[in-house]
Amino acid sequence: MTTPAIKVEGLHFSYGDIEAVKDVSFEVMPGEILGFLGPNGAGKSTTIKVLTGQMPPKSGRAEILGRETGRDDPEIQAQIGVCFEEKNLYLNMSALENLDFFASLYGIRNPDSLGILRRVGLADRAKDRVHSFSKGMRQRMMISRAFINEPKVLFLDEPTDGLDPTTAAQIRTTIKEEADRGAAILLTTHDMNEADQLSDRVAFINEGRIVALDTAENLKLKYGERSVKVRLRDGDGVREERIALDEPGSSARIAELAASPDLMTIHTEEATLEAIFIKLTGRGLE
Amino acid sequence: MSLARIWKVLRKDFAMGPRSPFFLYALVLPVVLTVLFQFAFGSLFEPKPRLGIVDAGSSEITAAMESAEGIELTLFDSAEELRRQVEANDLDAGLVLPAGFDEAVRDGSRPPLEFYIGGESYASNRIILTVTALDTIREVEGGSAPVTVEVVSFGEEGLPLTLRLVPVIVFYALVLAGVAVPGSSLVEEKEKGTLMAILVSPVKVSEVLAAKWLLGLVLTFLMAVMTLLLNGAIGPRPFDSVVVVFVASLLTAMLGLLVGVISKDSTMMFGLIKGAGVILFAPVLWYLFPNWPQWIAKLFPLYWIIEPIWQVSVMGEPLSAVWLELGIALAIVAAMLPLIVLLARRMQARMAAR
């Protein structure tokens, strides 16, 4: 049986009197992407900080590759890669110098920094100082830095936040590649589409608690409302009808409308993760 | 603690150094201050009297003036040229010795002597040159001075002002390289979040702090030694001077680390350095004003490193004369260490909670 790369059991963390993480438990297997979804202040970043050893848990247990976190353990730190939400790069160093320096901290003697920059499309700017980079380029630098030690566990905190669609798609591709390599990835985001596209499983976190954890498909099946939208001609105009598939008599009604000469279009409708999140928590993600 | 990881952070800091204004100030300011003080006070307070002589007959006076260490002598062929240079203030005074002047003095025929004085010359130089010239002529005559002069010296004889200013320059070298460089380096890493990026790698916070401390230590040591060399104040025992400078570097780099750990951001760090600057600088004043009560100077922490540098490097005392001061300096370093460890834990928690 494969050991989970990340294992969290009953994790609690509080800032003074404010409880930021309450009894959080989950596992991420090697090669799996777990989308950690929640609005700002839900406890996503705090959970990552505890898991990456920045803060010790107040109670509960968190393990990375079978070793307990929060003990300033270089063995764990050597196996993880972190992409922070804050673009904390050395702006006065070139892209290459940034990667080479961090590679040296992991004891990597001949890092393929240029190869990593090539993966994120920054090879032609390798020798330029980072302060001359655009926001998207800096974000790509952040991703490439998280990859420098070929980590077994990756923590990606809002990796595509505020990026243009092309850059975001490029970054999603590289994240997928890392998972295919075997890295366990904990991806925090409040972009439901991104979570849907990338994640093998999704955890909804709200006010410090995980309120749902499953594959996106299962969450949709479990909490979503399946329906069919039918458009029909109505004299000179158009009329729409939505039929909930789980309601009794829905099949007969669909068959009836399908046979109608006024039928224009018929579409199945799938619940979005955002709609499910709202249904479960009573609040949106923004 | 891994020495290899400390070295990697330290190497990065030294490589990044020339891109940091504080690092550059630390390299440049002691040199600039040395040159400035040497230029301003070296020539302002110690100008040699400049005398010109036209000697038509190989006078003994010329020979005597040539051998006088404290006078800058220039010989001329013509009285006109000599006069022109005195008028232009290129010389403080000019003496025209006609042929047979020495013989005439010895005969007692009281020959006339042309002595030009520059109107813009320093009064002290005029007096020195006049008295020296008259004294030399009396020696040529064979007479002796009508009085016996008993010289009583006050203060520290032979200590030029430029040497008295050495503690000021050394202070700046110590504070800039030892306090500001490691302090600002750490604060900048905190502000820009790069420290957190380092700390999620295998590097521990203690290793980062050790690297910052070594950065201050190495830079302070080099700059303080260079400052002493530039000021000709390395002392008769260079090894002893190196030891006291090393202890001074240990302490100031530790102070820099303390400032860096305490400060949340650059604004707070500048405030701290400005506020504490008065306390740090205070002991230096006692070297400029040695008549002030010395016990007050001992209340300030940097006294315990400035005094050994002064005694060993400037005054030429052996290490054994300052062991107590060095011991107290090392005790201050040891006392700061647990405080820094405690504050570093708080700093890490604060950063993570940001």
pLDDT at A249: 84
How much is the average pLDDT of B169-181?
84
**Element (DSSP H or E) covering residue A99:** helix A95-105
pLDDT surpassing 70 at residue B156: no
How is chain A split among helix, strand and coil, in percent rounded to 5? 35, 30, 35
CA A43 vs CA A21, A205, B281: distances in Å: 6, 7, 48
Q: What is the pLDDT of residue B338?
A: 92
User: Are A71 and A192 part of one and the same domain?
Assistant: yes
As given in the structure block, the two tokens for residue A4 are: 């989970």
Indicate left, alpha or beta for B235 from its phi (over 0: left) and psi (-120 to 50: alpha): left
Of the candidates A52, A88, A102, the beta carbon closest to that of B192 is on A88
Is pLDDT above 70 for B151? no
CA distance A77 to B221: 34
- Which residues of B are less than 8 Å from A107 in CB distance? 4, 202
Query: B62 to each of B83, B94, B99, B133, B176, how far by Cα in Å?
Result: 17, 12, 12, 10, 51
pTM of the model: 0.76
The pLDDT score that the predictor gives to residue B44 is: 45
Report the run of H or E that residue B185 belongs to, with start and end: helix B181-192
> Does A159 share its domain with A258?
no
Whether pLDDT at B226 is above 50: yes
Smallest Cα distance from A149 to chain B, Å: 10
Higher-confidence residue of B266 and B149: namely B266
C-beta atoms of A77 and B202 within 8 A: yes
Residues 6+ apart with CB under 8 A from B86: B52, B92, B93, B94, B116, B117, B118
Q: Residue A108's closest CA among B12, B189, B8? A: B8
| Strands A201-206 vs A209-214: parallel, antiparallel or unpaired | antiparallel
User: Considering CB atoms only, which of B5, B16, B200 is closest to A82?
Assistant: B200
**Does the beta-carbon distance from A55 to B193 stay under 8 Å?**
no
Looking at the fold, whether A62 and A172 belong to one and the same domain comes out as yes
- pLDDT of the residue at B153: 59
Statement to judge: residues A28 and A91 lie in one domain? yes
Element containing residue A140 per DSSP (H, E) = helix A135-147
Residue of B nearest to A85 (CA): B193
- Residue with tokens 């001329």, as numbered in its chain: B76
H or E, element range at B167: helix B166-174
Report the CATH number that the domain containing residue A174 is assigned in CATH. 3.40.50.300
Determine whether the interchain pair A78/B202 forms a contact, defined as Cβ–Cβ distance below 8 Å: yes
Closest residue in B to A97 (Cα–Cα): B12
Instruction: List the Cα angle A6/A8/A9 in 5-degree steps.
Output: 150
Q: Assess contact for B34 and B231: CB atoms under 8 A.
A: yes
Contacts of B207 in chain A (CB under 8 A): none
Q: Is the ipTM of this complex over 0.95?
A: no
pLDDT of the residue at B211? 94
* pLDDT for residue B46 is more than 60: no
Which among A72, A77, A86 has the least Cβ separation from residue B201? A77
Residues of B in contact with A75 (CB under 8 A): 202
- Whether A102 sits inside 8 A of B197 (CB atoms) is yes
Q: Are A20 and A161 part of one and the same domain?
A: yes
Instruction: For each of the domains in chain B, give its residue range(s) and CATH number, in order of start.
Output: 3-41+160-353 (no CATH), 48-141 (3.40.190.10)
Give A 67-96 residues with CB within 8 A of chain B: 72, 74-75, 77-78, 80, 82, 84, 86-93
Alpha-carbon distance A76 to nearest alpha carbon in chain B (angstroms): 8
- Rounded-to-integer distance, Cα B69 and Cα B290, Å: 29
**A136 and A61 in a common domain:** yes
In a domain, A189, yes or no: yes
Searching chain A, which residue's CA lies closest to the CA of residue B19? A92
Mark out chain B residues that contact chain A at CB-CB < 8 A: 2, 4-5, 8-9, 12, 16, 19, 192-194, 196-204, 348-349, 351-353
Chain A residue with minimum CA distance to B7: A105
A100 plus A241 within the same structural domain:
no
DSSP state of A129: B
Residues of B within 8 A of A90 (CB-CB) are 16, 192, 194
Asked if A198 and A140 sit in the same domain, the reply is yes
- Quick one: which of A13, A5, A55 has its CA closest to A32? A5
pLDDT tens, residue order, chain A (286 aa): 678 889 999 889 888 888 888 888 999 999 999 999 888 888 888 888 888 888 888 888 888 888 888 767 788 888 899 988 888 899 989 999 999 999 999 988 888 899 999 888 888 999 999 999 988 889 889 999 999 989 999 999 888 877 788 888 888 888 999 999 999 999 988 788 888 888 999 998 888 898 888 888 888 888 777 788 889 988 888 988 888 877 788 888 888 888 888 888 988 877 777 888 888 787 766 6
Instruction: Note whether A161 and A73 are same-domain residues.
Output: yes
B196 vs A88: CB contact, 8 Å cut-off?
Answer: yes
- Residue A73: predicted pLDDT: 78
Q: Which of B12, B197, B201 sits opposite A106 (nearest CB)?
A: B201
Judged by CB atoms closer than 8 Å, whether chains meet at B197 and A84 is answered as yes
In a domain, A278, yes or no: no
- Give B198's contacts in chain A (Cβ within 8 Å): 105
Mutate to test the interface with A, among B8, B23, B200 (most CBs of A within 10 A): B200
* Residue at A276 is within a domain: no
Distance from CA of B340 to the nearest CA of A (A): 18
* Number of separate domains in chain A: 2
Task: Identify the residue among A45, A46, A54, A150 best suited for mutation to test binding to B, counting B beta carbons within 10 A and taking the highest.
Answer: A54
Q: Sort out which chain A residues have CB atoms less than 8 A from B1's CB and list them.
A: none
d(CA B200, nearest CA chain A) in Å? 6
pLDDT of residue B42: 58
Which chain A positions have a beta carbon within 8 Å of B202's beta carbon?
Answer: 74-75, 77-78, 105-107
Radius of gyration of chain A measured on its C-alpha atoms: 23
Range of the domain at A264: 225-270
- A153 touches B: beta carbon within 8 Å: no
The rounded distance, in Å, linking the Cα atoms of A197 and A169 is: 10
CA B155 to chain centre: 19
Classify A162 in phi/psi space as left (phi over 0), alpha (psi -120 to 50) or beta: left
From the list A53, A77, A88, the residue facing B194 with the nearest CB is: A88
- Do A188 and A250 share a domain, yes or no? no
- Cα of B2 to nearest chain A Cα, Å: 10
Per-residue model confidence as pLDDT tens digits over B61-88: 888 888 887 788 889 988 899 999 988 8
A13 touching B (Cβ < 8 Å): no
Size of the A and B interface in Cβ pairs below 8 Å: 66
Nearest residue in B to A86, CA atom: B193
Q: Say whether A105 and B203 touch across the interface (CB within 8 A).
A: yes
Measure CB to CB from residue B202 to each of A52, A74, A93 and give the nearest one.
A74
> Which residue from B137, B52, B125, B59 is spatially nearest to B94, judged by alpha carbons?
B52
* Same domain (yes/no): A39, A153: yes
Q: Is the pLDDT of residue B159 over 80?
A: no
Residue B212 has pLDDT above 90, yes or no: yes
Q: Specify whether A53 is located in the same domain as A183.
A: yes
Tell me if B200 and A53 make a contact (CB, 8 A cut-off). Answer: yes
B150, pLDDT greater than 80: no
Alpha carbon B22 to chain centroid distance? 20
**Which of the listed ranges A45-49, B212-216, B305-309 does the model predict with the highest average pLDDT?**
B212-216
